[in-house]
C-alpha cells in the first residue's frame, strides 16, 4: 500500500482532497495544482462552491485566471459539497477553522466534525492529514480514536499525520510554496508518504511526532503574540512619557544582533496569533500549569482597542466635542494591510466600542466593501467611498489598517482629527496638526 501511494505521488496520479477551501485550503490547492496534481475540494459554503466551480476566486491573492485555467480548462480542480465523494481522494487534507469559544476554550468542532465525516467514508489506502492549528495531542488523542472506530488500523489500512499551515495572506515575499512545511505522522510509513507528498510542492521539515508538529505551530504564534504584547505595552508607557514608540523601535532595530523588531497596533487580528496561544493555555491546565506569560500577553493585546477608544475620546475632547453623537470614520477593517481578510480584526471591536459610546460610525476599506455579521458582532455596514465623503464631514477618523492603496492625503481633508494607530501617516510622509498617534 505504501509503495502504491508513493508511486501515485511520483506520477501525479494521486488525487488530493482538501476539506475547507478558505485562506489555507485554497492556496494549498494552488501549490498542488502547479505541480500537476488533481484536486478535489470540499466545502460546506455553497457560495464558495458556486464561485470556484466557475473559476472565480473570492480571495484577493488567488487570481481568477489561475482558477479558470485549472477548473475550466485543464479540469484539474473539482469542488463540491458532497462528502460522499471522499473515497475518490487518496490524500485528505483538513484545512478548517479552529476558533475559541466565548470562554477562550478551544473549539475543535470543525476538526472533529470533519474527522467523523472522513471516518464514514474511510477506505484502505487513505492518507488523512490535519493542517489546522491546534493543541498538542489533537491528532492522536482526538482524531485517531474516531478513525480507529471504523475497524481500520492506522499504519496498516490508512495513514494519519499532521502538517500545520503557515499561511501569511498578502505576503508577496513568502507564498505557500516558499515557506518550509513541518511534516509529522503517527507511523513511520505515514511520515515517508507525507514527506513525499509535501516535498513535491515545498521544502519540508520532518519531525518525530504529531505532538511535536502541533507544538511547533503553537510556539510560532505564541512567540509573535507575546512580542507584540510587549511593544503594545511599551507603546502605552512611552505615550505617557511623550516618547515616540515608532522612533524607539526604529533606533533599536539598528542593532545587528539580539533584537527583532515587532510593532504595536490597535490589537491583534487574523485567525492565528490572537487564538492559537490559548490552545496551549487550555492544554497546559491538564498538567496543572498556569501559563502566566501567555495569558498576560493575551490580556494586553485584548485591551488595545480600549486604548484606541480612549485616544479617540481625548482627541474629540481637545476639539470641544463629546464622543456621543460624533461622526467617526474607521479607515481599514482588514486585520492586516493589503488583504481582504477581516478575521478577528481589531477594527470590529473598535467599531463596536465606538458605537456603544454613542458615536455615529462609518468605515472605509477598499478591500472589504461590506462588513457582514460575525459570531461576535452584528455590525452590517457598507464601506463609504471617498468620492461620497464631504469635506470635514467627520469629527474624527481612526486609521486601523494601513492599506498601501489608500490615499491618506485625500482622506486628511475629510475629518477634523486623525487618530493613527499604525504610524501610517508618518510612513507616507504625511504631516498635519490634525494627527494624533494611538
- Would you list the domain boundaries of the chain? 2-208, 234-437
Name the β-bridge partners of 42. 19, 80
- Looking at residue 269, its pLDDT comes to 87
What pLDDT was estimated at residue 392?
77
- The pLDDT tens digits for 52-72 are 999 999 888 888 999 999 999
Compute the average pLDDT of residues 405-428: 93
Cβ atoms of 352 and 379 closer than 8 Å: yes
Q: Is the model's pLDDT at 242 over the cut of 80?
A: yes
pLDDT of residue 273: 83
pLDDT tens digits along 208-223? 999 999 999 999 999 9
The C-alpha atoms of residue 189 and residue 2 are separated, in whole angstroms, by 7
Of the candidates 357, 335, 337, the residue with the CA atom closest to the CA atom of residue 346: 335
Mean local confidence (pLDDT), 191-217: 98
Whole-number average pLDDT of the chain: 94
The neighbouring-strand residues paired with 130 are: 94, 162
66-103 b/e (C-beta count within 10 Å ≥ 16 → b) = ebeebbeeeebbbbbeeeeebeebbbbbbbbbbebeee
169: pLDDT strictly greater than 80: no
Q: Does the domain at residues 234-437 carry the CATH identifier 2.40.10.220? A: no
Q: Let me know if 272 is a catalytic residue.
A: yes
A 10 A CB-CB count for 58 gives: 15
Res. 379 pLDDT band, cuts 50 70 90: confident
Topology alike, domains 2-208 and 234-437: yes
Closest CA to 356 of 328, 314, 398, 375: 328
Q: Using the predicted structure, report yes or no on whether residue 24 has a pLDDT greater than 90.
A: yes
pLDDT of residue 71: 93
Strand partners, 161: 129, 185
CA 397/CA 386 separation, integer angstroms: 13
pLDDT tens across 84-137, in order?
999 999 999 999 999 988 888 899 999 999 999 999 999 999 999 999 999 999
Cell of 180: 518550509
Tell whether the model's pLDDT for residue 36 goes beyond 90. Answer: yes
Q: Provide the pLDDT confidence category of residue 271 given band limits of 50, 70 and 90.
A: confident
- Separation between Cα atoms, residue 217 and residue 272, nearest integer Å: 10
405 alpha-carbon distance from chain centroid: 21
pLDDT tens-digit series, residues 283-341 = 999 999 999 999 999 999 999 999 999 999 999 999 999 999 999 999 999 999 999 98
The percent of residues in the chain predicted with pLDDT above 90, rounded, is 83
Top-ranked range on mean pLDDT: pick from 17-31, 97-111, 170-184, 376-390: 17-31
Band the pLDDT of 270: cuts 50, 70, 90. confident
In this prediction, residue 390 has a pLDDT band, given cuts at 50, 70 and 90, of: confident
The conformation of residue 415, written as its DSSP 8-state character, comes to: B
pLDDT of residue 119: 98
pLDDT at 387: 86
What whole-number percentage of the chain has pLDDT above 70?
A: 100
Catalytic hit among 49, 92, 122, 272: 272
> Rounded to whole angstroms, how far apart are CA atoms 414 and 408?
10
Residue 380: the pLDDT is 80
CATH superfamily of 2-208: NAD(P)-binding Rossmann-like Domain (3.40.50.720)
Amino acid at each position: 500500500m505504501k509503495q502504491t501511494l508513493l508511486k501515485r505521488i511520483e506520477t501525479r496520479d494521486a488525487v488530493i482532497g482538501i476539506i475547507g477551501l478558505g485562506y489555507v485550503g485554497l492556496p494549498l490547492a494552488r501549490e498542488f495544482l502547479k505541480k500537476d496534481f488533481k484536486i478535489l475540494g470540499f466545502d460546506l459554503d455553497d457560495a464558495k462552491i458556486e464561485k470556484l466551480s466557475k473559476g472565480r476566486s473570492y480571495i484577493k491573492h488567488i487570481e481568477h485566471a489561475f482558477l479558470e485555467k485549472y477548473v475550466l480548462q485543464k479540469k484539474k480542480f473539482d469542488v463540491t459539497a458532497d462528502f460522499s465523494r471522499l473515497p475518490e481522494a487518496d490524500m485528505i487534507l483538513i484545512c478548517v477553522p479552529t476558533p475559541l469559544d466565548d470562554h477562550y476554550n478551544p473549539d475543535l468542532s470543525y476538526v472533529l466534525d470533519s474527522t467523523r465525516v472522513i471516518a464514514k467514508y474511510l477506505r484502505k489506502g487513505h492518507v488523512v492529514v490535519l493542517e489546522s492549528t491546534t493543541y498538542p495531542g489533537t491528532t492522536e488523542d482526538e482524531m485517531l480514536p474516531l478513525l480507529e472506530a471504523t475497524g481500520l488500523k492506522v499504519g496498516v489500512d490508512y495513514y494519519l499525520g499532521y502538517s500545520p499551515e503557515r499561511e501569511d495572506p498578502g505576503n508577496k515575499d513568502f507564498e505557500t510554496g516558499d515557506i518550509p512545511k513541518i511534516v509529522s505522522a503517527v507511523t513511520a510509513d505515514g511520515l515517508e508518504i507525507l514527506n513525499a507528498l509535501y516535498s513535491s510542492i515545498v521544502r519540508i521539515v520532518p519531525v518525530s511526532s504529531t505532538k511535536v508538529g502541533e507544538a511547533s505551530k503553537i510556539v510560532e504564534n505564541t512567540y509573535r503574540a507575546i512580542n507584540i504584547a510587549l511593544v503594545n505595552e511599551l507603546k502605552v508607557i512611552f505615550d505617557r512619557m511623550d516618547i515616540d514608540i515608532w522612533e524607539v523601535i526604529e533606533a533599536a532595530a539598528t542593532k545587528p544582533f539580539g533584537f527583532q523588531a515587532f510593532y504595536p497596533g490597535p490589537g491583534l487580528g487574523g485567525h492565528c496569533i490572537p487564538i492559537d496561544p490559548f490552545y496551549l493555555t487550555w492544554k497546559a491546565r491538564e498538567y496543572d500549569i498556569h501559563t502566566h506569560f501567555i495569558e498576560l500577553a493575551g490580556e494586553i493585546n485584548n485591551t488595545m482597542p480600549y486604548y484606541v477608544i480612549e485616544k479617540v475620546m481625548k482627541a474629540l475632547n481637545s476639539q470641544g466635542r463629546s464622543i456621543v453623537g460624533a461622526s467617526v470614520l474607521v479607515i481599514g477593517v482588514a486585520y492586516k494591510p493589503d488583504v481582504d481578510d477581516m478575521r478577528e480584526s481589531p477594527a470590529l471591536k473598535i467599531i463596536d466600542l465606538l458605537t456603544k459610546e454613542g458615536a455615529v460610525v462609518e468605515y472605509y476599506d477598499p478591500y472589504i466593501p461590506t462588513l457582514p455579521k460575525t459570531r461576535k458582532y452584528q455590525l452590517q455596514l457598507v464601506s463609504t467611498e471617498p468620492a461620497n465623503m464631504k469635506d470635514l464631514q467627520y469629527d474624527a477618523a481612526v486609521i486601523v489598517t494601513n492599506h498601501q492603496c489608500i490615499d491618506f492625503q485625500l482622506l486628511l481633508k475629510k475629518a477634523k482629527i486623525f487618530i493613527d494607530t499604525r504610524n501610517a501617516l508618518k510612513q507616507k510622509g504625511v504631516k498635519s496638526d490634525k494627527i494624533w498617534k494611538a
